[in-house]
Structure 1
């Protein structure tokens, strides 16, 4: 389904709202071209990648913001990482002050992307945007350059219909995929222009390509590197194997302790959330996850409760010799990366303490343990009772032609806790442009173009209707 070109047929909309959606529809091809241009820039913010690409991406986003003609000031900014003098990656900041006592809206997305991984696994080149069957393929095509374009195109459409009185701040981050390391300092440095009545974070999922979602629950995350060391040096596996404990054996036994027999997390102290969840079929989950025939799903309870309200643990990397490099050697040390998702309602600090206790209690043979590169992100529950959520859900229904579903996601957006801390009075909405087939972070990431069109329409309507309100209003 796509938005009709004749929006006057859409029942129940004002002339203004129909005009806004018509502007979205008329500008959609331009929005797709803008998205393609961004996808061509390999803006990976990780340390091992060329930062010039992230700078080029920021400059391209800044040019798009300038081109809307809406913002009074557009700049590329870099904030320090924590208490250091090291600057984070470039972010785009564009601002327009509210008029006539109208509320202010902060629009967030990020222009950096995940590494592309093994290029042989891509059906199309990762940085050559390619349209196939209503989807645009490429790294960042959805996560989150489509979120950037949703903001730009919505603001552009709004400005074509009226002179916005709503205040708009556009914050497009440059290092979300690298841990948002300068995010908190950025908020502190620019709090005066980022302060808003409503914050829209365009970095989440939708129920399907036909049904939108408002994300109301996000799991937090605790990730860390663990190094196990049992020997001062490597030894011949034939001479000493069976007597001295090798680090790989210690790793295998420790790793097995993280899960119960059914695959549920077995780390004592990690909690579950009491969330009501809609039904989802096992067939849908198996298809979305590409689960092979004969392979069982893990965990217990309703499927979406396992994804949204329970913890998960994944070993995402191991430093050990590759099979081609394997020799008959007892390994003295092994390092691995443990990534855990924690349920809403538990702080990341408490979860980390539980994980550390588990690791130290279950490390075999007295192996020495070192923990480093610890990343903590708190979970989040959205208060969907304010006017922002009410207007957002109605805007979604009008632009999509389907009522939105209030959902959780298994993923994490840790910086939302920083938004809450910096702007405690703001309503925070988590929207997005993804769908179950997006494959964000994976080879063959793609953006469904019908979803993008409807997401732009919903946001443009939300901005228009926010401009009808008075700043500080809490009325439904």
Structure 2
């Protein structure tokens, strides 16, 4: 049996036909607050998995909900036509917590359209990724030209702790010639992209201690150091005067082939007038290929309740984004050594690892990547896609690379620079979403043709 060959025009028509229903299903998913973090009601994650499973069953896939000690993932499969390749389509159905609800302009879990964007937690990251997969498969109906495996994870935002075990448990079922990971973004509205590198991550806590208990700031101040001053001085050693990370032993690269216009980056970051960028080198190297180190939080007395006392202990949470090519274990050891070595005035320093994840670099060459670029160019009406890095981290991509070394890994996504994923007022550009859905359908058709020629 020969698979049906679909033309670009036929797929455009099919995607346009399916988009209203796809959007309705996306809105239903956004209304489910499936947060996998501790302290949240995980029954909503179960509801989310069931809703995704139902969407895949409607596509006549063999579907099951799987887990490996963590939150539920959804696995759906349809065998390839004879001689055709198989494509693994990844996305995740869990979402970030809302954060400060007062900063949202509409209810986070009530999808709301404003000015061509759909607002809601998970609307972009990553429930639109799920529905892009669904839209592409609906466009083909029963005449899907490739085999597909849909793997929709349930705890990506919480660190994917059980993902490696899930991949090991279902390795044979997940085996594919091409892996499409729909959890990244595009270069800009109107400009598609393939993500070819991502930074790794090391999150840890540093605690400094100077005394056994709090003491009177007047009676002892001037001779006895307080822990907050110690912590402040220690944190200040992490960057040099230019703002580059000053921890010895971290990898840094200069590999960017495109650059971020300064005014665009200022606007997208919401940088205040007069505030300078930090670091040296091209902006894209600073945010894609060099390490970044941030202080995410500090445990200390709140200002409105702080007594006139020297604090005996203070704690900070640190996060390093690692350049591609670095090793998380080596980076953590380098940071710990730096903090211990630079402790002011003999203060006791304790460093504790929270979690880490590996960076990755993807060799985006070969016929499957050519098939993707052609699909993007067609969906964006002739605009060439950009090969871009991402400063964020998706550590499990390195796991996919290790477990499926012969598969072409295409990192795509629905986000644009204004999506505000993880922040208040997360949103999806509906026009770009339509292009993403069309691009994925075209990609599957192109992959099928490559497979036939191979």
Q: Report the TM-score, using the length of structure 2 for normalisation.
A: 0.96
- 2:364 aligns to what SS in structure 1? coil
| 2:294 matched residue in structure 1 | 314
- 1:374 aligns to what SS in structure 2? strand
In 2, Cα distance between equivalents of 1:74 and 1:228: 51
Alignment check: 8 A CA contact 1:102 1:469 kept: no
- 2:91 aligns to what SS in structure 1? strand
Q: Does 1:298 align with 2:298?
A: no
**Cα deviation 1:275-322 (Å, max 9, x = unaligned):** 132132110010000011111111111111111111100111111122
**Cα deviation 1:14-71 (Å, max 9, x = unaligned):** 86232122111111111111111111111111111111111111111111111122x1
Q: Does 1:46 align with 2:28?
A: no
| 1:392 matched residue in structure 2 | 372
Match of 2:204 among 208, 224, 228: 224
Change (3 A) 1:255 1:292: same
Q: Does 1:35 align with 2:16?
A: no
Alignment length, in residue pairs? 449
Q: Does 1:150 align with 2:139?
A: no
| 2:309 matched residue in structure 1 | 329
In 1, Cα distance between equivalents of 2:422 and 2:392: 12
| 1:55 matched residue in structure 2 | 46
Runs of 5+ consecutive residues of structure 1 not aligned to the other structure: 1-13, 80-86
| 2:267 matched residue in structure 1 | 287
In 2, Cα distance between equivalents of 1:15 and 1:370: 61
| 1:5 matched residue in structure 2 | none
In 1, Cα distance between equivalents of 2:379 and 2:102: 38
Deviation at 1:373, TM superposition (A): 4.1
| 1:164 matched residue in structure 2 | 144
Between 186-195 and 353-362, the greater mean CA deviation after superposition = 353-362
| 1:121 matched residue in structure 2 | 103
Match of 1:430 among 411, 417, 426: 411
Alignment check: 8 A CA contact 2:191 2:380 kept: yes
In 1, Cα distance between equivalents of 2:176 and 2:346: 53
| 1:448 matched residue in structure 2 | 429
Match of 1:462 among 443, 446, 454: 443
Q: Does 1:368 align with 2:326?
A: no
The structure 1 segments of at least 4 consecutive aligned residues displaced by more than 6 Å after TM superposition are: none
- 1:177 aligns to what SS in structure 2? helix
| 1:75 matched residue in structure 2 | 64
- 2:105 aligns to what SS in structure 1? coil
Deviation at 1:256, TM superposition (A): 0.4
| 1:194 matched residue in structure 2 | 174
Deviation at 1:168, TM superposition (A): 0.6
| 1:106 matched residue in structure 2 | 88
Between 169-178 and 227-236, the greater mean CA deviation after superposition = 227-236
Alignment check: 8 A CA contact 1:277 1:305 kept: no
Alignment check: 8 A CA contact 1:103 1:467 kept: yes
Q: How does 1:124-139 map to 2 (within 5 A)?
A: 124-139=106-121
Pairwise CA RMSD: 1.5
- 2:39 aligns to what SS in structure 1? coil
- 1:140 aligns to what SS in structure 2? coil
